[in-house]
């Protein structure tokens, strides 16, 4: 089912076994927090993240009677699906005992999640929920609910915050909590002054657009107008090219992208897929030329007068676009 159906279901009570997956980590965290609150399970719950998963321990936990007549709440978060037999056992333990609840926050591929739908079917006492990124109107509405508890801010400013952070609800919520410290009404000016410099997504999006051969002049101009440093954009460009090279090499060797193995940390699925697609679009020789171009450009900018650096940065980006068009 989808979010709206699940929200209606939650008004009637908490489903005892739920598979959550999709591209909306903020909403998933909200559902987890809701379960913790309603079950009063902050200290009694059993949480297993990624390689911490132990089937025998999870089964034993759901098989025992909860202390003081409370609830057993098992939270599992991982990017690999479970064997069907193990999953069926855990869901079955919840179906047989109304004091048991099991949330599976699945961070893997959607096709793997679909393979687990049967275990979470209504017949087995479970539900599966696929979540998508909210559209701008939905994002603003969700943030408005949070903002009412924290800070005085109008819908225009909320929409501006969402746009600035590219709809990343977790980042938006964090920024609202920070803005609440000011203890005064918040508008677009405060957001531009206090939020933008902490949002690396803006430069990241600029580089994604550049490699996807989309127009970038407007975005680059806005970044500079809002005080982004020329050297920080240049360094981000160097790092971005390095990442694409690493993604390309890993895919050639292993046949698939794995950001955890490549970078040492797991990227959100859509970001990982986008980087992999860009890496496969650019030849290795072009990536090398791009990196040489950026290193040489850094030397030129460091030797230049500060007033010339903005113009030089535009030249750097135009040079990168030229190399990508030529595909050396």
pLDDT in tens, 215-274: 888 888 878 876 678 888 888 889 889 989 999 999 999 888 888 888 877 777 777 888
83-98 CB burial, b ≥16 within 10 A, e <16: eeeebbbbbbbbeebe
Do 109 and 149 share a domain, yes or no? no
Residue 309 φ/ψ, nearest 5 degrees: -65, -35
**Cα 204 to Cα 116: distance, rounded to the nearest angstrom:** 34
CA distances from 201 to 26, 130, 193, 204 (A): 16, 25, 16, 5
Do 95 and 117 share a domain, yes or no? yes
CA 238 to chain centre: 23
> pLDDT over 70 for what percent of the chain?
95
Instruction: Characterise 175 by phi-psi region: left (phi > 0), alpha (psi -120 to 50), beta (else).
Output: alpha
Do 33 and 144 share a domain, yes or no? no
Residue 9 φ/ψ, nearest 5 degrees: -65, -40
Do 209 and 307 share a domain, yes or no? yes
Residue 228, domain CATH: 1.20.272.10
**Would the pLDDT of 177 be above 80?**
yes
pLDDT band at 197 (very low <50, low <70, confident <90, very high): very low
From 100, 131, 162, the end of a domain falls on 131
**Would the pLDDT of 163 be above 80?**
no
Mean of per-residue pLDDT scores for the chain: 85
From 111, 131, 151, the end of a domain falls on 131
Compute the average pLDDT of residues 55-83: 84
pLDDT of res. 176: 87
Q: Which residue in this structure is represented by tokens 């400013």?
A: 157
**Cα 325 to Cα 299: distance, rounded to the nearest angstrom:** 24
Do 286 and 306 share a domain, yes or no? yes
Do 178 and 118 share a domain, yes or no? no
Do 14 and 123 share a domain, yes or no? yes
Enclosing domain of residue 194: 136-198
pLDDT of res. 198: 43
pLDDT of res. 315: 92
**Cα 298 to Cα 270: distance, rounded to the nearest angstrom:** 31
From 151, 183, 198, the end of a domain falls on 198
Rounded to two decimals, the pTM is: 0.58
By three-state DSSP, how is residue 58 classified? helix
pLDDT band at 120 (very low <50, low <70, confident <90, very high): very high
Residue 140, domain CATH: 1.10.8.60
Do 193 and 294 share a domain, yes or no? no
pLDDT of res. 199: 44
Do 152 and 103 share a domain, yes or no? no
Helix residue ranges per DSSP H, the chain: 3-12, 25-39, 55-63, 84-96, 110-114, 136-150, 155-164, 169-179, 188-194, 201-211, 217-225, 230-254, 259-263, 269-281, 284-303, 309-326
Q: How many domains does the chain have?
A: 3
Q: pLDDT for 292-309, tens place per residue?
A: 999 999 999 999 988 899
Do 14 and 125 share a domain, yes or no? yes
**Would the pLDDT of 136 be above 80?**
no
**Would the pLDDT of 196 be above 60?**
no
């Amino acid at each position: 089912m989808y979010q709206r159906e699940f929200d209606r279901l939650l008004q009637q009570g908490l489903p005892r076994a739920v598979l959550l997956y999709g591209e909306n980590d903020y909403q998933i965290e909200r559902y987890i927090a809701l379960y913790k609150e309603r079950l009063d399970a902050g200290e009694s719950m059993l949480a297993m993240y990624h390689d911490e998963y132990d089937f025998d321990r999870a089964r034993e936990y759901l098989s025992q009677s909860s202390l003081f007549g409370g609830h057993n709440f098992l939270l599992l978060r991982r990017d690999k699906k479970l064997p069907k037999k193990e999953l069926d056992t855990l869901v079955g333990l919840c179906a047989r005992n109304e004091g048991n609840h099991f949330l599976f926050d699945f961070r893997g591929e959607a096709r793997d999640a679909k393979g687990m739908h049967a275990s979470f079917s209504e017949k087995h006492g479970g539900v599966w929920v696929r979540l998508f990124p909210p559209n701008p109107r939905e994002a603003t509405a969700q943030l408005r609910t949070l903002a009412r508890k924290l800070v005085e801010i109008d819908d225009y400013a909320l929409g501006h915050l969402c746009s600035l952070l590219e709809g990343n609800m977790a980042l938006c919520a964090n920024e609202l909590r920070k803005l609440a410290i000011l203890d005064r009404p918040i508008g677009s000016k405060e957001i531009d002054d206090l939020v933008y410099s902490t949002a690396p997504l803006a430069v990241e999006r600029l580089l994604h657009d550049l490699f996807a051969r989309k127009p970038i002049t407007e975005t680059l101009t806005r970044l500079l107008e809002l005080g982004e440093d020329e050297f920080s954009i240049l360094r981000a460009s160097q790092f971005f090219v390095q990442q694409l090279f690493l993604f390309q090499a890993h895919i050639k060797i292993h046949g698939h992208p794995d950001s955890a193995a490549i970078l040492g940390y797991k990227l959100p699925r859509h970001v990982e897929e986008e980087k992999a697609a860009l890496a496969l679009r650019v030849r290795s020789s072009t990536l090398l030329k791009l990196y040489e171009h950026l290193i040489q450009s850094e030397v030129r900018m460091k030797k230049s007068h500060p007033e010339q650096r903005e113009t030089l940065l535009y030249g750097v980006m135009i040079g990168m676009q030229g190399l990508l068009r030529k595909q050396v």
